[in-house]
Structure 1
């Protein structure tokens, strides 16, 4: 744990997958905006270093919660922090960012790896949203951002990643209306290609031209702006908004053929 004094007036955000990529960008931006933080990931070293830096640079409180979200038992501590914080401050903003991708086709991926993928991309989002939402609704305020992907709008080629992200987007849209009646916002963030460690960890080169790639800071800026506007779906960038619109209009059979031809959807 790392902390500063005078935390009573500051809101608290919990960010999963906070040690890198979009999660790291969320943590840095929210600290700059005056949020105290609960940082969740598997890598304690990275989390401790991030917490210490945010405390020193921003003067906020930054607590570290190490958890493997692919394991329902190990993620219970995160659920507990959201549902019943005890003497700690309640979480005002939940960023469900942690994600899991695999490089191979479905039939080439071991069942246990597919299960871990499902638990992180779907199970953890469901469990943490369920843990956070009742308290937010009782307090009449709060927000949940579930990080999905443009991949959820398009059929992948032999991959479960897009299927999981489609679930996250649909879940967020399904919950948004009822949550809003209690003063709580729920939004799905659906970025396209983002400059993170994602493809490096899969051993893949970054596909597509450079103009398709956004910095994580840009994605976070757009997401928080859309959240403030009350939007249920945030798609950073005109090109990806166009892809979303096209996916609603173009016949799905043609979309599947294009996905197969380009190899989109690995991971």
Structure 2
């Protein structure tokens, strides 16, 4: 059965393009008002106007740098000032860095951990009580297929996504007595600006999916009365992620390192 989100509001981070924009359209198509959060105000306003025109819902842009340590409180204040109550939260904002850790820019690494981990935790804690109380929406945290094994040359990025996966699966269990649906989504290579930020498509493993394909799978899983705590997007990605779990850790590490090295050739 297709879930109707009419009468609810979905807040999506990283919503100016890529997966975030696709999630905003996906929830709007299901009747939800949407709050679009990202740094690029112009892009957000354009996206919000398009969603309102195409789907007839309210779309509210909030320009905010989510890598700020106080981003969660600033976001809550911005939402409250507008009289908005959030029933669905999609923590999509994040970025990756490719290259040996020893050569990485410390400030860039710190910003990635702040955005990919600390901000996800703080924003989730800020809104989760409301989500659980209402129970009509969902919490979706974006992990990655990189979460399932160590990722040489993307060591910190892979570790941040492993955190998101573990964190979200634990929250799904903790909130199991409520009607809130909690899901960790692990996309593989997706045609977004992610690889522009990384600086190369060599970080991609496997064939690319579109953001719309990833969002369609997510919404299909959320249509279930009791969705799984986590889902991997793409059949080949799901198979690989399952196989990795049965590998000795040492073999999984060597395989991951070899695959990423081959992609860079």
Q: Quote how far apart the aligned CAs of 1:73 are.
A: 2.3
Task: State the TM-score, normalized to the length of structure 2.
Answer: 0.89
1:147 to 134, 142, 145: 142
Per the alignment, residue 199 of structure 1 pairs with 195
Task: State the TM-score, normalized to the length of structure 1.
Answer: 0.89
1:106 to 97, 101, 109: 101
Q: Quote how far apart the aligned CAs of 1:139 are.
A: 2.7
> For 1:100-133, what per-residue CA distance to the aligned partner results, in whole angstroms no more than 9, with x for missing partners?
1113321111222111000110011101111111
1:48 to 29, 45, 60: 45
Contact 2:132/2:178 (<8 A) preserved: yes
Q: Quote how far apart the aligned CAs of 1:96 are.
A: 0.4
- Of residues 10-19 and 255-264 in structure 1, the stretch that sits farther from structure 2 once superposed is 255-264
1:258 to 224, 243, 255: 255
Aligned partner of residue 175 in structure 2, secondary structure? helix
Matched, 1:168 2:164: yes
Gaps of 5+ in 1: 1-8
In 2 relative to 1, CA 253–50 (structure 1 residues): closer, same or farther, beyond 3 Å? Answer: same
Q: Distance in 1 between matches of 2:117 and 2:216?
A: 24
Per the alignment, residue 120 of structure 1 pairs with 115
Extract structure 1 runs of 4+ deviating beyond 4 A. 206-209
| Cα RMSD after superposing both structures | 2.1
Gaps of 5+ in 2: 1-5
| TM alignment of 1:176-255, pairs within 5 A | 176-205=172-201, 212-229=207-224, 230-255=227-252
Q: Distance in 1 between matches of 2:181 and 2:203?
A: 34
Q: Distance in 1 between matches of 2:65 and 2:59?
A: 19
Q: Distance in 2 between matches of 1:80 and 1:142?
A: 21
How many pairs does the alignment contain?
Answer: 255
Q: Distance in 2 between matches of 1:54 and 1:206?
A: 33
Contact 1:141/1:182 (<8 A) preserved: no
Q: Distance in 2 between matches of 1:112 and 1:260?
A: 25
> For 1:206-265, what per-residue CA distance to the aligned partner results, in whole angstroms no more than 9, with x for missing partners?
5668x621111000000111122222111122101101111111111111111222226x
Q: Distance in 2 between matches of 1:260 and 1:185?
A: 35
Aligned partner of residue 36 in structure 2, secondary structure? strand
